[in-house]
Structure 1
Amino acid sequence: MARDQSKPTGDDKKIGVSAPSYQQSGPEGLPACGDFDIRIARDGTWHYRGSPIGRKSLVKLFSTVIRRDEQGDYWLVTPVERGRILVEDAPFTAVECEAAGAGRDQVLRFRTNVDDWIEAGADRPIRVAEDPVTGEPSPYILVRDNLEALIVRPVFYQLVERAVEHRQDGTDYLGLWSKGRFFPLGRSP
């Protein structure tokens, strides 16, 4: 028996819209409209048909209906249709960071490019991926439901300035505390 598409589920409350799963197809599910000609650049700029979307309110609206499936594909999912979009790196960027408190009690808050505020913690971890060729770090924070924000370079430098040494799993790291959890940025020299 198919779920009534008009009734919100508990997951819908996380993003503030009633959106059925992007994985549904067929007569009971959402029609897949193929690929939408939308691209999110590494710097967080949204493009439609090759041109930047200049209306921030439209980007904010689209950002509330983006999903990522198990294969790593990104989708815009509305109550009536879904379409795949291209994301060069992460669908969001973390463009500002505020810190309150100190040590293990410190709380790091990040503002995304769509003006959402998120706090780093066990439910929203910070991770740093390293390019295997160049060794360049790419820091991320989880925004929601398998969607991350790339922490922009100036904000990452601010985090590095706040970093402390901590031994974890037998290795010395430079990293940050937020909400009682330590997030390694890299190995201590």
Structure 2
Amino acid sequence: MLFNKPLIQLFLIITLYNINYGSAFADNHGGTFGIHFSDGKETKNSDVMQRYSLLWSFDKKWLESRWGYLTGRWELSYIHWELWKQSDNTGWAINPVFRYVLPAKDYYYFFDLGVGVIKLAHRGFEKRDLGSEWLFEDKVAAGVGFGKHFELALSWVHYSNADLASANDGVSMLGINYTLAF
């Protein structure tokens, strides 16, 4: 089982609390704080990945134009992989993500790009050697936001050590993301 019941219950309690009380703090597209869930698969096989994140925005806008603006946010994530050939792997990541927002009346489009770090439980991933338990996490995503609180996106996330270790097999994931922002 992916998580035990108390952890799932805590995640749901935080979500419900923020739905009721967090919306007053949202002043831009995507809010200032949020929770994020991603469900995906590895690009080379069918290993399943779930990613749970807490988000908080930079609260800044750059390069504003009539088309959109650049902003960003921090992501603190717990990632879990269900692996077929070895024991499951988990990791904690922190990632600054830059976002270009194209606003519309009741929705907005966005494109995310980020590079952060992740600490894995072990450096193996199926038959591949990632070279280290400490890796870089590269993230690219595109999606649509509805109002100030809900987002759907498609993401590609790559994990590798950037050839800083003797082995660097790397792993990439495609995911569907859901974000609840406040």
So what's the TM-score if we normalise by structure 2? 0.22
So what's the TM-score if we normalise by structure 1? 0.21
Higher relative contact order (CA 8 A, sep 6+): 2
Q: Which has the larger radius of gyration?
A: 1
Tell me which protein shows more strand as a share of its residues: 2
